[in-house]
Amino acid sequence: MSDLVSIFLQLLLFKLVAPVTFRHHRYDDLVRTLYKVHNECPHVTRVYSIGRSVKGRHLYVLEFSDYPGIHEPLEPEVKYVGNMHGNEVLGRELLLQLSEFLCEEFRNRNQRIVRLVEGTRIHILPSMNPDGYEVAAAAQDRDISGYLVGRNNANGVDLNRNFPDLNTYIYYNEKNGGPNHHLPLPDNWKNQVEPETQAVIQWIRSLNFVLSANLHGGAVVANYPYDKSLEHRVRGFRRTANTPTPDDTLFQKLAKVYSYAHGWMHQGWNCGDYFPDGITNGASWYSLSKGMQDFNYLHTNCFEITLELSCDKFPRQEELQREWLGNREALIQFLEQVHQGIKGMVRDENYNNLVDAVISVSGINHDVTSG
């Protein structure tokens, strides 16, 4: 009964807040939606492209900030990435809905949203794999079923198995000594990755992202690093062993923030799986090499988690409103987490110039690099 009351209250609240669009968006419609939001909130948004897909489609990002296009000192950068797998589409639609919601609520002077936009630089990439999405959407139109149709990019590559493998280096360094953060890229990394992956890598190298979430489908759980297992125990056909990062406590907290703010993720039983608190260490679920969330953490210290948001990878259009109501509060609360903790600048002894520094913090098992 409590779940029914909760849904009723959310529906009642929905009638009092910004209308958002509950339909699937093909590429041209996605682009129109992003520019529509920008035109409605021109002073706090910016649309920009980080590159192109194999077939030449732009990878568009919508930015929210009180000074779009400008990095302000001590204002954290945060990002959402959707539709990395082209056939996992709920994240794509949720990020478009979030964009519409943030704009309208800012215009309505909702103080919670005003504080968030004015104090944070938010970057929303609704689709990392627009080519794969078009394949998946066309298959839906023709009523062609297939669990993997449209998953990969136009070259047939799984983009979440396409980032440079930095886990091998970190596991070696943990055993033999060596750096455990800001690991460098291999010299030939551009020859190893797809255009979409290269665009995202260049993007995260160009901005000091602090927090990130990658939106997927096919399960309902908040997944945190590491994704690649240090050990290789076998459970069925999956290699699995809990493989925590030095920041495991914080990663679990971030995952729980989303799970417990979500309409039902925290209950644990979803899609035939059970995850206590609705969260899991990636490697303890199944080992994944060359994934994006581990790469973010090891290369740039950006704390990224992976949000699996729906049992059905391509939910019916009628289900989008329920999914939005289930995820809206969680999407906002997760963004707000970027303001937890401490922040500051390191200057020289005369307090004149900013300097690069390596900072050791008690209770954190790796150093922090400023600069």
Shortest CA distance to 214 belongs to which of 296, 276, 279, 147?
Answer: 296
pLDDT of the residue at 4: 47
Tens digits of per-residue pLDDT, 115-124? Answer: 999 999 999 9
Shortest CA distance to 310 belongs to which of 263, 367, 244?
Answer: 263
pLDDT of the residue at 239: 58
The Cα 303–Cα 247 span in angstroms is 9
Could you tell me the two tokens for 33?
A: 């939606």
pLDDT of the residue at 119: 97
**Torsion from C-alpha of 20, 22, 28, 31, nearest 10 degrees:** 30
Could you tell me the two tokens for 202?
A: 């260049």
Question: 165 by DSSP, 3-state: which?
Answer: coil
Tens digits of per-residue pLDDT, 318-333? Answer: 999 999 999 999 999 9
pLDDT of the residue at 142: 78
Is 349 an active-site residue?
A: no
pLDDT of the residue at 363: 63
pLDDT of the residue at 181: 85
Report the relative pairing of strands 45-52 and 58-64 from DSSP bridges. antiparallel
pLDDT of the residue at 238: 52
pLDDT of the residue at 167: 94
Run of H or E including 130:
helix 130-141
Shortest CA distance to 24 belongs to which of 323, 333, 263, 265?
Answer: 323
* Residues in the chain with pLDDT values less than 50: 1, 4, 7-9, 11-18, 233-236
pLDDT of the residue at 84: 98
Catalytic residue selected from 93, 100, 134, 308 = 308
> What does pTM read for this prediction?
0.91
